[in-house]
Amino acid sequence: MICSKCGHVFENEQGSITECPVCGAALAPSWNEKTGEASARIESAATGESPPEIGTESGHSGASAPGGKASGDLTWKQVKESQAFQQGAEISKQYGGFFLNALLHPLASSKKIDRAHFLNGIITMVIIAILLPLVLYIPSLRSAFPDAFGAGYLRPFLLVVLAFAVAVFATYGVMRLGKVSADPRNITAKLGTLLVPSTAALLISVIFQIIGLGIGLSGLFLFITVLSFFVAITLLIHQEMS
């Protein structure tokens, strides 16, 4: 080591000397730090290892991506193999066949339907309850003062659900007054079957609203939906009473 003040040369391998033994000048701290850093780098280069700060950071960044991907693949695999996912996929597949058959042959299908298709009837009514408020809510979103979600969508949704409940129990009451045996689950299944064409018309109306083809076509299919609802109830009562 060389003293920067007097130029005296002396040995300080361990870095234990902090002052020059001749003039007493303090050795700069940066000297020791640079010496230690250089020694560490030379030793790392000799052994073929990366410096700790660089190796640690690159190691974490290199290992995190494959680990995250493997974890994501494992999670999706667990979701697909879960019982709830498989049941949902089975219900969706079964409802798809029911919907297509009821759309092509609503009257014939409704005569064959019983309470075993209660869930299909509920799904149809829920779809209508979701789509019908959208036909009224989407145009308000394009206006300068759009309606609030609660008043513009949630409230109509609840009203549609309530209307379906009233329709089912009103039909049940009419049939009981006519001394005809009836089951609310059977009525729900049959009504849901007869409402499949209404669901298709309502879906077309929503699509027209989204792509902005005008309120005329959307209103036409909305009118068809409402008309089909009353026709479905009338046909249901007629089928059960005859």
Domain span at 96? 89-241
**197 inside domain:** yes
**48 inside domain:** no
pTM score over 0.75: no
Residue from 171, 190, 183 nearest 237 by CA:
171
Q: What is the pLDDT of residue 66?
A: 53
Whole-angstrom Cα Rg for the chain: 38
**25 inside domain:** no
**pLDDT confidence bin for 10, thresholds 50/70/90:** low
- Side-chain-side CA neighbours of 181 within 13 Å: the count stands at 0
Cβ–Cβ < 8 Å for 138, 213? no
**22 inside domain:** no
- 59 or 143, higher pLDDT: 143
91-118 residues labelled b (16+ CB within 10 A) or e (exposed): eeeebeebbebbeeebeebbeebeeebb
**181 inside domain:** yes
**66 inside domain:** no
**9 inside domain:** no
Mean pLDDT value of segment 186-214: 86
The structural domain count of the chain equals: 1
Helix or strand run (H / E) with residue 175: helix 155-177
The maximal CA–CA distance of the chain, rounded, in angstroms, is 122
**204 inside domain:** yes
**Averaged pLDDT score across all residues of the chain:** 76
Structure letter (DSSP) for residue 9 = B
Q: How many residues does the chain have?
A: 242
Residues 138-169: tens digit of each pLDDT: 877 777 777 788 878 899 899 999 999 998 99
